[in-house]
């Protein structure tokens, strides 16, 4: 059995390119049978492929002398194999008291942090873990009982990137019985963790109680779960790639969130809509553990609704979905635009309005620039008909404009609404106002008929929009 197992692991490592020739690899070694088998297999292959192995062990100080003996055993094993070894003694119980985390979560956080430190010390590109097929089966059952989706059924990934290294699990298709047989044939010693028999841990109850009970209905139950995991990993990878492509295609990244067209989101398959929301939240560094299925569905439906056209829905404190006509925004912060007012000198000049993100330029010129056709990004005024001082400011309640080419006046607010200008941009759109309070120009949108340039005009004050924010 030994030669076939070694060959199976070697073939899988090579085919999947888990470890490149000459790589430095940190091997997480608890001292138990699984990690001892992994270290020994990698050691036997290391000379052929030029791998540099580093054994790393964490003494969590949960079991007193037993934990100390395991640390000593790992150090002795590494020494026999001629491998460098790093051992950390971490007071995890104190960390639990400080953070209120459960024991397994706290131990994992400290263990992974140490392994990353060792990888950095040795310039290792990979950290190898000894999780096997039975661990995978237990993980899937645990997730089913707690509630999971398709991605959860994929189980633990064989490889994933974390920080600057890749975490690999070369034994994820090998069963515990195969590892124990390998150790017995090689007469390799290992430690037994007494806490693995304690049923206060959820995984132990699954391992000792639930799995044997389920095997009574299917004696190949772990193998069936392993196949399920393998199939779901492939499908999960496909869906992830599809979601990433959708993100690149329809999502615009903003400083405080993301934007997309509601119609583009609605055109996606339901499954892809959910994946895309997860991807957006990941981009926004939002803690995914705070988003359950009900919250995800509420968010998805809020993004799909067409009425009312403009709405702001708070999903959680600090997380908001905003609908503005055909646009959907997912924001992690919302700050109401600040009001602004800047008095302008008559003459040439340029002004950047930080509250709005606009840049407006103006110049004195002759009437020859007048084409007779007003432009949204340009406004020309007869200087002699202007009443100063001129001010560029944000809109105010009650503002009205007498639009060029029309009789009477209209509320600026109504013009924004009729033009379906998104609410988030209305307060950031500058208005040019004269000394009498008349709105002369809605920058980049519409000018008024006041101080219009005619054939009798001698001097023109020309305004142009040189930069406007993405609307």
422 vs 243: which has the higher pLDDT: 243
Write the burial class of residue 65 (CB in 10 Å: 0-12 exposed, 13-18 middle, 19+ buried): exposed
297, 331, 365 — which closes off a domain?
331
Residue 14 has pLDDT above 80, yes or no: yes
Number of C-beta neighbours around residue 41 at 10 A:
26
305 and 271, same structural domain?
yes
What's the pLDDT tens digit per position in 217-241? 999 999 999 999 999 999 999 999 9
Q: Name the token pair of 312.
A: 């702001």
The pLDDT value given to residue 2: 47
Q: Name the token pair of 69.
A: 């003996």
The pLDDT value given to residue 334: 61
Q: Is residue 166 part of a domain?
A: yes
Q: Is residue 242 part of a domain?
A: no
11 and 101, same structural domain?
yes
Task: Evaluate whether 379 touches 463 at the Cβ level (below 8 Å).
Answer: yes
Residue 330 has pLDDT above 60, yes or no: yes
Q: What is the CATH number of the domain that holds 108?
A: 3.40.50.620
What's the pLDDT tens digit per position in 89-128? 888 888 888 877 777 788 888 899 999 999 999 999 999 9
Residue 78 has pLDDT above 80, yes or no: yes
377 and 289, same structural domain?
no
Number of C-beta neighbours around residue 143 at 10 A:
16
Among 322-326, 341-345, 371-375, the range scoring the smallest mean pLDDT is 371-375
What mean pLDDT comes out for the span 27-56? Answer: 97
Residue 407 has pLDDT above 60, yes or no: yes
Q: Is residue 315 part of a domain?
A: yes
149 and 18, same structural domain?
yes
171 and 264, same structural domain?
no
267: Cβ contacts below 8 Å, ≥ 6 apart: none
What mean pLDDT comes out for the span 166-179? Answer: 96
Q: Is residue 247 part of a domain?
A: no
203 and 163, same structural domain?
yes
Which is it for strands 358-365 and 460-467: parallel, antiparallel or unpaired?
antiparallel
414 and 441, same structural domain?
yes
Residue 41 has pLDDT above 60, yes or no: yes
Q: What is the CATH number of the domain that holds 362?
A: 3.50.40.10
The phi, psi pair for 152, rounded to 5°, reads: -70, -30
| Mean pLDDT, the chain, whole residue set | 90
Residue 216 has pLDDT above 50, yes or no: yes
What mean pLDDT comes out for the span 41-50? Answer: 96
Binding residues for ATP: 30-35
Of these ranges, 108-122, 282-296, 367-381, the one predicted with the greatest mean pLDDT is: 108-122
Percent of the chain with pLDDT over 90: 62
The pLDDT value given to residue 361: 92
Q: Which of 43, 54, 41 is closest to 119 using CA atoms? A: 54
Q: What is the CATH number of the domain that holds 267?
A: 3.30.465.60
Instruction: Kindly report each contact of residues 213-220 with a partner whose C-beta sits within 8 Å and lies 24 or more positions away, as own/partner.
Output: 214/141
- Nearest-5° angle of CA 407, CA 410, CA 414? 145
Percent of the chain with pLDDT over 70: 96
381: Cβ contacts below 8 Å, ≥ 6 apart: 440, 450, 451, 452, 453, 460, 461, 462, 463
280 and 196, same structural domain?
no
50 and 80, same structural domain?
yes
Distance CA 195, CA 110 (A): 18
Identify the domain containing residue 181 by its residue range. Answer: 4-232
Q: Is residue 407 part of a domain?
A: yes
362 and 318, same structural domain?
no
294: Cβ contacts below 8 Å, ≥ 6 apart: none
Q: Which of 192, 196, 217, 191 is closest to 206 using CA atoms? A: 196
The phi, psi pair for 197, rounded to 5°, reads: -95, -10
Q: Is residue 221 part of a domain?
A: yes
What mean pLDDT comes out for the span 396-404? Answer: 91
181 and 85, same structural domain?
yes
The pLDDT value given to residue 33: 97
Q: Is residue 116 part of a domain?
A: yes
Q: Which of 298, 350, 344, 303 is closest to 324 using CA atoms? A: 303
Q: Is residue 239 part of a domain?
A: no
The pLDDT value given to residue 471: 47
For the chain, what is the domain count? 3
The pLDDT value given to residue 366: 86
What mean pLDDT comes out for the span 250-263? Answer: 90
281, 303, 331 — which closes off a domain?
331
Largest CA distance in the chain: 106
The pLDDT value given to residue 385: 92
173, 197, 232 — which closes off a domain?
232
461 and 345, same structural domain?
yes
Binding residues: 30-35
Distance CA 324, CA 268 (A): 20
């Amino acid at each position: 059995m030994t030669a076939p197992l070694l060959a199976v692991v070697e073939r899988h490592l090579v085919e999947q390119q888990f470890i490149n020739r000459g790589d430095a690899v940190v091997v997480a070694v608890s001292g138990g049978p699984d990690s001892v088998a992994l270290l020994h297999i990698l050691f036997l292959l290391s000379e052929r492929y030029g791998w540099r192995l580093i054994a790393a062990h964490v003494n969590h100080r949960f079991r007193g002398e037993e934990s100390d003996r395991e640390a000593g055993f790992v150090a002795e094993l590494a020494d026999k194999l001629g491998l460098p070894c790093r051992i950390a003694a971490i007071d995890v119980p104190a960390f639990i008291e400080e953070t209120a985390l459960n024991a397994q979560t706290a131990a994992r956080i400290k263990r992974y942090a140490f392994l990353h430190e060792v990888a950095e010390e040795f310039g290792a590109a990979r950290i190898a873990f000894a999780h096997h097929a039975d661990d995978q089966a237990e993980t899937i059952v645990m997730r089913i009982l707690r509630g999971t989706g398709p991605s959860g059924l994929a189980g633990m990934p064989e490889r994933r990137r974390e920080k600057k290294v890749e975490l690999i699990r070369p034994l994820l298709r090998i069963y515990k019985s195969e590892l124990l047989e390998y150790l017995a044939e090689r007469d390799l010693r290992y430690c037994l963790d007494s806490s693995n028999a304690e049923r206060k841990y959820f995984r132990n109850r699954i391992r000792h109680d639930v799995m044997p009970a389920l095997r009574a209905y299917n004696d190949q139950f772990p193998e069936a779960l392993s196949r399920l995991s393998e199939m779901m990993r492939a499908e999960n990878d496909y869906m992830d790639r599809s979601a990433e492509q959708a993100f690149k295609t329809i999502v615009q990244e903003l400083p405080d969130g993301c934007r997309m067209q509601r119609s583009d989101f609605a055109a996606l398959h339901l499954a892809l809509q959910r994946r895309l929301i997860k991807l957006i939240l990941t981009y926004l560094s939002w803690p995914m553990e705070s988003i359950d299925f009900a919250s995800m569905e509420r968010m998805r439906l809020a993004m799909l609704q067409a009425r009312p056209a403009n709405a702001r829905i708070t999903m959680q404190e600090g997380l908001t979905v905003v609908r503005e006509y055909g646009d959907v925004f997912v924001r992690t912060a919302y700050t109401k635009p600040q009001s602004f007012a800047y008095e302008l000198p008559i003459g040439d000049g340029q002004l950047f309005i930080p509250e709005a993100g606009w840049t407006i330029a103006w110049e004195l010129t002759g009437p020859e620039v007048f084409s007779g056709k007003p432009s949204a990004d340009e406004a020309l005024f007869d200087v002699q008909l202007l009443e100063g001082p001129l001010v560029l400011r944000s809109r105010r309640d009650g503002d009205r404009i007498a639009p060029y080419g029309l009789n009477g006046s209209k509320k600026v607010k109504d013009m924004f609404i009729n033009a379906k200008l998104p609410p988030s941009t209305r307060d950031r759109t500058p208005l040019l106002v004269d000394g009498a309070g008349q709105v002369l120009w809605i920058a980049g949108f519409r000018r008024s008929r006041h101080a219009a340039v005619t054939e009798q005009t001698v001097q023109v004050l020309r305004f142009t929009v040189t930069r406007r924010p993405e609307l």
